Structure 1
Amino acid sequence: MTAGTGVERGVWAAPGRVNLIGEHTDYCDGFVLPFALPQRTVVTAERLGRPEWSVTSTLTGETVTFDLSEPVTGWAAYVAAVVWALRDAGHDVPGARLHVDSDVPGGAGLSSSAALECAVLSALADLGGLDIPLAHRPKLAQRAENEYVGVPCGIMDQSASTLCREGHALFLDCRTMATEHVPLDLAGQGLAILVIDSRAPHQLADGEYAARRAACERAAALLGLPALRDAALADLSRLDDPLLVRRARHVVTENARVLETIALLREGRLREIGPLMTASHASMRDDFEITVPEVDEAVETALAAGAYGARMTGGGFGGCVLALVEAEKLDAVAEAVHTAFATRGFRPPATFTALPAPGAHRLS
């Protein structure tokens, strides 16, 4: 593919994300509703005159240089993966010197990896003058993570990091890639979303995420369906394996909860999405079995302290909880969770308020 005239240098950013509702539905061709966080990864980049890439991380202090002749591992693999995916798609990717900084918490289920991928992709596209429509970029970043890094993630994280708009949640149909920006005016209704980072170990590459995806694909195949997006609850009686029934039931009911949530948001009935968030968490806990004691404690404590709803967000096995609360109750709910964690002997959680932020863009 022919590149246009690129820029010599610049600064680009891409955000982390939380998923308001719709967990483990993206790779089942289902529905998701994420929004971008103010926390973001920033890439400062300049073009080099040779096919070589050098990336320095402020977080690790490391500099890694590569030319794709050998596999790249560790955190820099996410950068190499983007270069690989772009080149494999036929793009003339310019060599570049990259400097990466980020305030997206790593290992918290907030898509720090997608933020890195999408910021690097934005930088390289502009440096090389590459003609890549915004709508096509999530697929490239997802392929980078799936095929180069080896993480079988769906399309949601990269879509959120690329496409989200400030003040909105992103309704994404993961089959058609159709999007709708749904207003999420929390402050206008006196509400806030408290993010509780459980600080429990969050590992997606240990096989558990892959096992859940494989179970969903197996269930769909046994039902003779392209994906669980096409299943109804009544179909699950045709599955003999109780584990597959539970996994499929989560996906079917979660897709329905996403659609219900969107209908309420369109009508401005934000408080009424709370019970759907809580039901989503129960489904992840009981049917999908991806929660851990820390996130269950955070959900139960937030609800007891007055939250309208609460749920884990992200791939599971650790990570963060979202709680929908009255803005005036933010401090009280956060304090209750801190106290509960101390009582249980858990590591102290981190808490912050989430506001819908813009997707990937050039800063300068």
Structure 2
Amino acid sequence: MNEPIIKASAPGRLDVMGGIADYSGSLVLQKAITQQTFVELVLRNDYQCYIVSQLSGGESLIFNGDFRDYLNSSEVQYDYAQQKFKQHQPSAWVAYILGCALVLQKEKGIDFRGADMKLVSQVPNGKGVASSASVEVASMQAIAKAFNLTFSSTELPVLAQRVENLIVGAPCGLMDQLASCFGKPGTLLPIVCQPDQVKDSIEIPKDIHFIGIDSGIRHSVAGASYSDVRCAAFMGYAIVAHALGLNNHDVIRSKKLGTLPYNGYLCNITIDEFKQRFEHLLPESIKGITFLEQYGITTDSVTVVDPDKTYQVKACTIHPVYENYRVQQFLACLAVLDTTPNTADRSGLIKQMGTYMLETHESYSICGLGTVRTDTIVKLALTKKGIAGARITGGGNGGTVCMMATGEEGLTAVHELHRELCEHYGEDLSLFL
């Protein structure tokens, strides 16, 4: 008897506010985009996996292999699987897909014996709009349907993140997977990343539009800069913990017991307390070996301090503390827009939201995640009437710039800017609605 065709889909996301502060426990605001990843799956019983992935640019990738090659003595071991995928770089992309089967086998007890899978992704790679998360969430949904699995609360996106962290080996936070799983069109999804407190979606006012323009600079969450910035933030947290009297042993013990200061998140420190108690303790930069000798480990499970690297600890620690405040204030302004009839008051709120977006953009650059191209796009955007805010998004280092446009005038301005950028750079840049 032929196995049924199982179908699933998941969108990419536009990071409106929050971005890289997710791994430090920030509130983030995410918007599902219209582009999605679609998956069709038919189970097999011979452990063979035939996977075709059609990318947004028209390219097709094909994988044909044996699922058992990624098991160690019939057992799922994440380190072993990660190394097996990395050994053959041309097919390393399949880790995002088969990784879902491996995680579900280990964590949910399925007996995966291969599958034919077809993926069609409208979410372009390397644009900072969670293409990998949409692949992981859609693939995991399809496999879960095939095995009649049920998930509690945020369990599916948590497991999807495990694919990226432990099998792909990319140190992403949980924000992307949560947004891809729970994001709804026309709304912002607030998430308190401690680690996965998903709040009710917020309707975006009808005259406010959040739109992404691809910068044309490829973004990779596995890139050294993103990893280094994340690692530096956790180094900063370790210095805070030591200032509070915790030694290495205390930190390890507190992490296991769930009793770390500020619950382990920089974003639980208020700006005032941070400035008064901790900011002066943070070095502008520190060599990895010096940090290891003075403070030992960090509490991060997906980055490792490199003894030979120099980390910009102060800027990378300051960013999430201030970003959490900016996102909270941005959301407070957004929440009262619909109940603010006075045009001048409304304009003031929108202007303040734009200011928070620009401060976020500038803070990314201070951390080392800015680019000349994204700076140029933000500056050009803010010269257009109707575009009230703009910022680099997601993991930075290229990727997409998020615009906040107002009314029809703003929509027209974004489309005009998009055309100008495509012509200027000679590229077909993506637009994310």
Normalized against structure 1, the TM-score is what?
A: 0.87
- Provide the C-alpha distance between the structure 1 equivalents of 2:222 and 2:204, rounded to a whole number of angstroms: 35
Instruction: Select 1:218's aligned residue among 235, 246, 266.
Output: 235
- Provide the C-alpha distance between the structure 1 equivalents of 2:195 and 2:153, rounded to a whole number of angstroms: 15
Is 1:124 the counterpart of 2:205? The answer is no
The residue aligned with 2:266 is 228
- Provide the C-alpha distance between the structure 2 equivalents of 1:166 and 1:175, rounded to a whole number of angstroms: 24
The residue aligned with 2:215 is 198
Match runs of 1:315-326 below 5 Å: 315-326=395-406
SS in 2 for 1:152: coil
Q: Shift of the alpha carbon at 1:268?
A: 3.0
Q: Shift of the alpha carbon at 1:19?
A: 0.8
Contact 2:418 2:431 in 1 (8 A): no
- Provide the C-alpha distance between the structure 2 equivalents of 1:159 and 1:143, rounded to a whole number of angstroms: 12
- Provide the C-alpha distance between the structure 2 equivalents of 1:276 and 1:237, rounded to a whole number of angstroms: 24
Is 1:17 the counterpart of 2:34? The answer is no
Q: Shift of the alpha carbon at 1:265?
A: 2.4
SS in 1 for 2:20: coil
Q: Shift of the alpha carbon at 1:69?
A: 2.0
- Provide the C-alpha distance between the structure 2 equivalents of 1:125 and 1:253, rounded to a whole number of angstroms: 39
Instruction: Select 1:238's aligned residue among 278, 281, 305.
Output: 281
Is 1:301 the counterpart of 2:380? The answer is yes
Contact 1:338 1:348 in 2 (8 A): no
- Provide the C-alpha distance between the structure 2 equivalents of 1:278 and 1:183, rounded to a whole number of angstroms: 22
Is 1:264 the counterpart of 2:333? The answer is yes
Q: Shift of the alpha carbon at 1:185?
A: 2.4
Larger radius of gyration: 2
The Cα RMSD (Å) is 2.1
Instruction: Select 2:390's aligned residue among 298, 310, 316.
Output: 310
- Provide the C-alpha distance between the structure 2 equivalents of 1:80 and 1:230, rounded to a whole number of angstroms: 36
Q: Shift of the alpha carbon at 1:349?
A: 5.8
- Provide the C-alpha distance between the structure 2 equivalents of 1:353 and 1:193, rounded to a whole number of angstroms: 9
Contact 2:34 2:185 in 1 (8 A): no
- Provide the C-alpha distance between the structure 2 equivalents of 1:93 and 1:13, rounded to a whole number of angstroms: 23
Structure whose residues are more often helix by fraction: 2
- Per mean C-alpha deviation after superposition, the further-off stretch among 15-24 and 274-283 is 274-283
> Cα 1:134–1:165, aligned 2, differ >3 Å: closer, same or farther?
farther
Is 1:350 the counterpart of 2:429? The answer is yes
SS in 2 for 1:222: helix
SS in 2 for 1:46: strand
SS in 1 for 2:127: coil
The residue aligned with 1:360 is none
Q: Could you report, residue by residue, the CA deviation over 1:134-160 in whole angstroms, capped at 9, with x for unpaired residues?
A: 521111011111011000100000010
* Unmatched segments (≥5 aa) in structure 1: 1-6, 355-364
Letter in 2 for 1:312: I
Q: Shift of the alpha carbon at 1:353?
A: 4.9
Is 1:91 the counterpart of 2:109? The answer is yes
Match runs of 1:30-179 below 5 Å: 30-59=26-55, 60-70=60-70, 71-72=84-85, 73-94=91-112, 95-179=114-198
- Per mean C-alpha deviation after superposition, the further-off stretch among 240-249 and 94-103 is 240-249
- Provide the C-alpha distance between the structure 2 equivalents of 1:66 and 1:36, rounded to a whole number of angstroms: 34
> Cα 1:87–1:21, aligned 2, differ >3 Å: closer, same or farther?
same
> Cα 1:76–1:275, aligned 2, differ >3 Å: closer, same or farther?
same
> Cα 1:337–1:35, aligned 2, differ >3 Å: closer, same or farther?
closer
- Provide the C-alpha distance between the structure 2 equivalents of 1:292 and 1:216, rounded to a whole number of angstroms: 20
SS in 2 for 1:53: strand
Q: Could you report, residue by residue, the CA deviation over 1:19-50 in whole angstroms, capped at 9, with x for unpaired residues?
A: 11002111112221112111000001112234
Contact 2:216 2:429 in 1 (8 A): yes
Is 1:254 the counterpart of 2:335? The answer is no
SS in 1 for 2:209: strand
Contact 2:49 2:63 in 1 (8 A): no
Q: Shift of the alpha carbon at 1:246?
A: 1.0
| Aligned residues between the structures | 343
SS in 2 for 1:350: coil
Q: Could you report, residue by residue, the CA deviation over 1:195-250 in whole angstroms, capped at 9, with x for unpaired residues?
A: 11011122332321111111011000001042322334312122133531111111
